[in-house]
Amino acid sequence: MGQVTGAGLLAHVPTIVLPEHTRRELNNGQEITLVTGLQQLRKDVFDTVDYDTVVVLDSHWATTVEFVVAAQQHRAGLFTSEELPRGMCRMPYDFPGDQELSRAIAAKAGEHATWITAIEDPYLPIYYATINLWTHLGVPGKRWVSIGVCQTGDAEDHLRLGRALGDAIAESDRKVLLIASGALSHTFWPLRHLRAHEASGPEHIINDAARAADYERIDWFKAGDHARVLDTMDQFAKVKPEARFGHYLMMIGALGEGDCTVPGRQYGEYENSVGTGQVHLWFDRPEGGFPAPHRTDSSNDPYPYPYPS
């Protein structure tokens, strides 16, 4: 029987893969703690915990008519970002995938009345929300799999993906680390103002409301109050969390949603990235494991999922 051995809400901002001297130039001579936080997280978790596969819930990979799971046996190449090619240019990546687990996740779509496809195409794009974190946390021989958010999906849709993911892991023989790769509030400064706000201090977050909403949720995460985070998603939407917080919703869907009371451990500080709110929070597997994923009630769905006969 498989298990989730840990999970994290982690920031993937471009600055974490820039050279240290560049990071310090942008941050008044100081190192950004999003980097030192990942370095410590690797020592505490990725280099020490027993696991087989990392599943990244990638807030930069937006699909439209279904959720997509990367299902290659191996992924390797050079990555240049279309968003910031000057800073993320020809970055090498090379890691095994987990085709068996990817297919198992897709096979759970019917049970949760959603659409999930496992794609093996070697030319399937990869995004820096995965690459940047693998650069810091990738351990040789460990499998990495990415799942995209769905831009037409709402909170319930993303929770359903998470439930399917959690069920697939539980029925496998895998020990899995989950990464919800993305930000909290996510509004950039306009271009003409942006370079005045590249330092990491939270005073550079786009506005007071966004900063306050982020701090509030960080406190709830540290207290293990995932139910409150879920109950206040409509309020959080007002400060525009990245990908409508789909990365977190998929993660917590796999971990039992509001039944999960696992407190988060923060790595590094809450920091700005040109207006957006960034933090690393890690949730250790509790004794006895995370709560089981919820069942999905699709009785009021507007369109019936085509269950297999």
DSSP letter at 32?
P
Distance CA 169, CA 44 (A): 23
Average pLDDT over residues 90-111: 98
**By percentage, how much of the chain surpasses pLDDT 90?**
97
Query: To 10 degrees, what angle do helices 33-41 and 128-137 make?
Result: 60
Average pLDDT over residues 12-32: 98
DSSP letter at 7?
E
Q: Is 244 a residue whose pLDDT tops 80?
A: yes
pLDDT at residue number 101 = 98
Stronger pLDDT, 304 or 297, i.e. the higher one: 297
pLDDT at residue number 33 = 98
pTM: 0.98
Distance CA 61, CA 151 (A): 9
Average pLDDT over residues 263-289: 98
DSSP letter at 31?
P
Write the pLDDT tens digit of every residue in 140-199.
Answer: 999 999 999 999 999 999 999 999 999 999 999 999 999 999 999 999 999 999 999 999
Average pLDDT over residues 43-48: 98
pLDDT at residue number 309 = 40
pLDDT at residue number 305 = 77
Stronger pLDDT, 197 or 309, i.e. the higher one: 197
Distance CA 286, CA 289 (A): 5
Side-chain half-sphere CA neighbours of 116 within 13 A: 32
Task: Name the token pair of 285.
Answer: 């597997």
pLDDT at residue number 307 = 59
DSSP H helices, 171-243, are: 191-194, 208-223, 226-231, 233-236
pLDDT, the chain, mean? 97
Sort residue 77 into left (φ over 0), alpha (ψ -120 to 50) or beta.
Answer: left
Classified as helix, coil or strand, 180 is: strand
Average pLDDT over residues 104-125: 97
Please list the residues that pair with 9 across neighbouring strands.
Answer: 180, 281
Average pLDDT over residues 288-308: 88
Average pLDDT over residues 81-85: 97
Q: Is 104 a residue whose pLDDT tops 60?
A: yes
Task: Name the token pair of 88.
Answer: 């993320």
pLDDT band at 103 (very low <50, low <70, confident <90, very high): very high
Distance CA 292, CA 111 (A): 15
Of the chain, the end-to-end C-alpha distance in Å amounts to 27
Stronger pLDDT, 303 or 32, i.e. the higher one: 32
pLDDT at residue number 119 = 98
Lay out the sheet containing 67-70: strands in order across.
116-119, 67-70, 143-150, 53-63, 175-181, 3-10, 276-284, 265-273
Task: Name the token pair of 89.
Answer: 């240019």
Q: How many CB atoms lie within 10 A of CB 119?
A: 15
Average pLDDT over residues 107-127: 97
Q: Is 308 a residue whose pLDDT tops 70?
A: no
Q: Is 256 a residue whose pLDDT tops 60?
A: yes
- The H or E element spanning position 78 is strand 74-79
